[in-house]
Amino acid sequence: MLGEFALIDAIVAGLGDRAAGDWITLGPGDDAAVIATRSGLSQVASIDTLLPDVHFPAAAPPQLIGYRSLMVSFSDLAAMGAIPRYCLVSLSIDESQTALGSAWVEALAQGMAEAARELGVYVCGGNLTRGPLNIAVSVHGDVEPQRLLLRSGGSPGLNLYVTGPLGAAAACVRTGQMIPAEPEDLTPLQSAYYRPRARFDLLSLLTSAAGGLDISDGLTQDLEHLCRASGCGAALNSVAIPVASGAQLDDALFGGDDYELLLVSDKPLAGAHCIGSLTAELGLRLDGEPLHARGFDHFRNGNSTR
């Protein structure tokens, strides 16, 4: 079966001249699209779909599903250096969600509202259909064009930084702790999975970064995305990688769902962890040895729940 990225290439090929042009500053390929406006500010927009038993357990409490769905979708805007403004939610649900009337959707919306309140954004529109459970979230913000953070901003010699400990959400999945006993009483690993933080608190730090993206697919896979967009390779130093408490190095390298930012810069980034540097030689290396990137591919990974 074709992988996710080959299928995306076919879609972009099918779109032809409609993928970007005119007022579209940046089309498919980064964390979000960038649209020029006559005010001088750029709009930044992204869309994600979350599916049961892929992006969250179907049996999870709906308020946690709602919180997580909104927060991970907005993470793509944090990874562009944008200020978040609003989102739209298109929801497909079936009898499993409506068996008890409206309680499930109302709790889902409450979880979304909680995340929206923390981010200072609104859920100002949506759509509801009956079908297999599917949560599509489009997120929207704006940015001064000169503050945009792109995947293509890397170049050999720049240092690589991550903005916080990695692997906790992956460790939650790996150790089978994904159904909390009480939605209000999460273990630290469950909290990492269900209540990630989109890193909008770092906007001032980002002015010192040359490029970056969020680590939603796993450190090595997202690093590979950055390297491909920047035309370079990378060398990682394993002891420098901040592994979350309760997680292992493999969770941090290959797990994903971290929503910390991966940044490149030639300046020190206060508070971030320097984990290596970009290289002219293509490919990834860990402690000098070739490293095969692995992460999440919707069309190749089996039923891993993330």
Alpha carbon distance 154, 58 (integer Å): 38
C-beta closer to a copy of itself: residue 97 or 265: 97
Q: Does 88 help bind a copy of itself (rule: CB under 8 A)? A: yes
C-beta closer to a copy of itself: residue 21 or 290: 21
Q: Does 292 help bind a copy of itself (rule: CB under 8 A)? A: no
Question: Can you tell me whether residue 135 is helix, strand or coil?
Answer: strand
Number of residues binding to a copy of itself, judged by CB under 8 A: 81
C-beta closer to a copy of itself: residue 26 or 293: 26
In order, the DSSP letters of 195-244 are S----GGGHHHHTT-SEEEE-SS-HHHHHHHHHHHHT-EEEE-GGGS-BP
Residue 81 tokens read as: 């250096």
Tell me how far CA of residue 143 lies from CA of 13, 37, 59, in angstroms.
28, 11, 37
Q: Which of 58, 102, 224, 237 binds a copy of itself (CB under 8 A)?
A: 102
Using CB atoms within 10 Å of the CB of residue 56, give its burial: 0 to 12 exposed, 13 to 18 middle, 19+ buried. buried
Tell me how far CA of residue 117 lies from CA of 86, 101, 103, 121, in angstroms.
11, 26, 21, 6
Q: Does 229 help bind a copy of itself (rule: CB under 8 A)? A: no
Q: Does 59 help bind a copy of itself (rule: CB under 8 A)? A: no
Site for a copy of itself in 241-280 (CB under 8 A): none
Site for a copy of itself in 178-217 (CB under 8 A): none
Region near a copy of itself per CB under 8 A, out of 50-58, 221-229, 230-238, 265-273: 50-58
Residue 242 tokens read as: 């901040």
Site for a copy of itself in 105-144 (CB under 8 A): 105-110, 112-113, 116-117, 121-132, 134, 136, 138, 140
C-beta closer to a copy of itself: residue 126 or 246: 126
Cα angle for residues 147, 148, 149 (degrees, 5° grid): 115
Region near a copy of itself per CB under 8 A, out of 39-47, 164-172, 234-242, 267-275: 39-47
The CB-of-145 to a copy of itself minimum distance in angstroms stands at 14
Alpha carbon distance 26, 19 (integer Å): 9
Region near a copy of itself per CB under 8 A, out of 101-109, 192-200, 236-244, 279-287: 101-109
Residue 286 tokens read as: 């860990």
Q: Does 32 help bind a copy of itself (rule: CB under 8 A)? A: yes
